[in-house]
Chain A
């Protein structure tokens, strides 16, 4: 019983960060339809920003998070304006190849600048965990969960309840009509990509101090993010959030009671099963293409 409760607690905490990774990518991949291979590198970028700000420049831990997210958004905006802007209207394969190139360049730049040695970031949280009877969880992870939940809520509000959100949804539903209605679609593209990138950087910045920071850290994060987005249904923020929690739950219980060796495969097995039954993902509405 204690073991099961610990697994469930772990799943909820882990699910928060998976959901955060998922909603960032669902904006870009699901709504913008850009197969964004740089998502994992923005995650790593957020973590390296935290390292540079906290360990080298001695910036306050919480302020560093805000700065890391802002830098992530700037980098996202730069990628959109330098690379994607020119590819608007290009087919999905061309864009995908460019993004794969950007991913390789970014990962190798990280290694060139920081070397392959993993780095760790000090956090102001106590080393001793929060103990709840037989269960325990580190304070840092509780903090990550709380911030991730808040960011997910804020993104949901932004996309579904604000004018900017409405413009985003309109642009990606029908670009020409949106442009005719006076929406500046170039800006919307940049803003959406920057927002999604900022969320990836936020996830990296939150998890950097929990794990270690290394140039390849983005690879697994990116493959999980894609899994979550597909699981939840493309472009659906609620779906991506629930997808994140479902993936964490399946991984924890799968690793705990079936086989830990297949922990990272569990999520993908689940996706295959779900796509067999519901090809649009769990929560997506029926799609209209074209």
Chain B
């Protein structure tokens, strides 16, 4: 009796090695580092789910260079130190020729020196801090927009919305600070006065002090840059403290569906920038791709509130695979060179890279469309402006 489990275990190990051995020969590995646990877990998991949809689609269509692709998704625990170890592991142990990651700007900035050290390119799917593409790292290819692009896209709305005095509330990290700088400079240049600039710890849940100050500043609008969890609380607490300002969220990690569900009527009258509007996919550049992604997302039973994050992983995989295909081989330097020439029809729009940063060490930057949506009566609508 005691021998049977042992035998089974040996058989399982043998079978396991056989499968792993076969995979190693037949697949091209793509490394993904995302925050699957910790403060950004919700978003990181959505990006991973989106990436898996693309992986399955590509493999069903025959893979790339005659081989199947295999995503190796590592959890960076929402922590910059962990993010660096995941990238080190993926490059040195798994020998991935290309990476996708790392969701937040702080996490992406943390891993960037490793990309240069090992000379492996990374497709950046979410981060928006300007520093990522301007610091001179030639292994960075960003498909998400920078805060500066977002602020520029917002510019025509300043007059239409009648903004006179704006306050800011943002998380005290690369994402929040970068966004608040770009938006406040843009607003100042357009004659809008700045009320108060308030920051918050990325983990904080109580914003009563900041909101009391913003209320006293007499602003007509409040630009908020943070992820959806804090945004929910800010909408609720602004209502509790009767801070009667127009709240505009920046950065595109705002999941309006989740806000409606969790903040209730406190979400009404708020505005949100997004880079993919799943409420009206027909306005996107490639509506067929958007719809295909959305249908599969729903078919898999993923949370609909995650649609505004999942596409980042979906597009990230398509871009990485386009790079591999154009390179003709799964080697980091070849893929890096080839990524400059890709043109991918994605949910982000037509993705291709332009040069940004110091000459000779440019990073690749895509220019996606920025949308502004509003929440009215518990529904997401196109802005009336």
| A14 smallest CB distance to B (angstroms) | 6
Evaluate contact between A117 and B42: CB separation under 8 angstroms. Answer: yes
A129 within 8 A of B: yes
**Interface residue from B37, B213, B305 paired with A256 (Cβ < 8 Å):** B213
A215 within 8 A of B: yes
Evaluate contact between A264 and B201: CB separation under 8 angstroms. Answer: yes
**Interface residue from B45, B204, B233 paired with A115 (Cβ < 8 Å):** B45
Q: How far is the CA of A220 from the CA of B306 in the complex (A)?
A: 26
Contacts of B203 in A (CB 8 A): 216, 219-220, 264
**Interface residue from B42, B201, B212, B232 paired with A120 (Cβ < 8 Å):** B232
B27 within 8 A of A: no
A93 within 8 A of B: no
Contacts of B305 in A (CB 8 A): 117
Which of B36, B172, B228, B229: most chain A Cβ within 10 A? B229
By beta carbon, the residue of chain B nearest A13 is B208
By beta carbon, the residue of chain B nearest A221 is B205
A108-B37 in contact given A118-B232, A127-B264, A263-B200 (Cβ < 8 Å): yes
A136-B208 in contact given A3-B215, A118-B42 (Cβ < 8 Å): no
Contacts of B208 in A (CB 8 A): 10, 13-14, 252
Interface segment among B63-71, B83-91, B234-242, B343-351: the answer is: B234-242
Evaluate contact between B210 and A111: CB separation under 8 angstroms. Answer: no
B residues 41-90 in Cβ contact with A at 8 Å: 41-42, 44-45
By beta carbon, the residue of chain B nearest A7 is B212
A91 within 8 A of B: no
A141 within 8 A of B: yes
Contacts of B172 in A (CB 8 A): 261
Q: How far is the CA of A220 from the CA of B305 in the complex (A)?
A: 26
Evaluate contact between A14 and B206: CB separation under 8 angstroms. Answer: yes
Evaluate contact between A212 and B262: CB separation under 8 angstroms. Answer: yes
| B240 smallest CB distance to A (angstroms) | 4
| B160 smallest CB distance to A (angstroms) | 30
B20 within 8 A of A: no
Q: Number of A interface residues at 8 Å Cβ cutoff, please give it.
A: 41
Evaluate contact between A138 and B240: CB separation under 8 angstroms. Answer: yes
Give per-residue flags for B8-52: 1 if the beta carbon is below 8 A from chain A beta carbons, else 0. Answer: 000000000000000000000000000011111110110000000
| B198 smallest CB distance to A (angstroms) | 4
Which of A108, A141, A217, A260: most chain B Cβ within 10 A? A260
Q: How far is the CA of A219 from the CA of B233 in the complex (A)?
A: 17
Evaluate contact between A136 and B241: CB separation under 8 angstroms. Answer: yes
B contact residues, range: 35 or more
A82 within 8 A of B: no
A residues 155-172 in Cβ contact with B at 8 Å: none
A116-B37 in contact given A14-B208, A212-B229, A261-B172 (Cβ < 8 Å): yes
Evaluate contact between B205 and A256: CB separation under 8 angstroms. Answer: no
Evaluate contact between A263 and B201: CB separation under 8 angstroms. Answer: yes
A289 within 8 A of B: no
| B136 smallest CB distance to A (angstroms) | 28
Which of B42, B205, B212: most chain A Cβ within 10 A? B212
B residues 192-220 in Cβ contact with A at 8 Å: 198-201, 203-206, 208-210, 212-213, 215-216
B265 within 8 A of A: yes
| B253 smallest CB distance to A (angstroms) | 13
Q: How far is the CA of A136 from the CA of B258 in the complex (A)?
A: 26
| B111 smallest CB distance to A (angstroms) | 21
Evaluate contact between B42 and A116: CB separation under 8 angstroms. Answer: yes
**Interface residue from A3, A127, A137, A261 paired with B213 (Cβ < 8 Å):** A3
B303 within 8 A of A: yes
Evaluate contact between B210 and A260: CB separation under 8 angstroms. Answer: yes
B122 within 8 A of A: no
| B78 smallest CB distance to A (angstroms) | 8
Which of A2, A14, A117, A211: most chain B Cβ within 10 A? A117
A260-B232 in contact given A127-B239, A129-B241, A136-B242 (Cβ < 8 Å): no
Evaluate contact between A212 and B233: CB separation under 8 angstroms. Answer: yes
Give per-residue flags for A192-224: 1 if the beta carbon is below 8 A from chain B beta carbons, else 0. Answer: 000000000000000000011011110110000
Contacts of B233 in A (CB 8 A): 211-212
Q: How far is the CA of A90 from the CA of B27 in the complex (A)?
A: 52
| B265 smallest CB distance to A (angstroms) | 6
Contacts of B38 in A (CB 8 A): 116, 216
By beta carbon, the residue of chain B nearest A137 is B240
* 23 pairs, CB–CB < 8 Å, chain A vs chain B: A3-B212, A3-B213, A6-B212, A6-B241, A14-B206, A108-B37, A115-B42, A116-B38, A116-B40, A120-B262, A120-B263, A127-B265, A136-B240, A212-B229, A214-B229, A217-B205, A220-B204, A252-B209, A253-B209, A254-B209, A255-B209, A256-B213, A263-B209
Not counting A3-B212, A118-B228, A138-B240, a sample of 17 additional A-B residue pairs whose C-beta atoms are within 8 angstroms of each other reads A111-B37, A115-B42, A117-B258, A117-B303, A117-B305, A127-B239, A127-B264, A127-B265, A129-B239, A136-B241, A212-B229, A216-B203, A220-B204, A260-B198, A260-B200, A260-B210, A261-B200
- Ordered nearest first, which 7 A-B pairs have the shortest CB separation? A116-B41, A255-B209, A261-B199, A10-B208, A3-B216, A138-B240, A120-B262
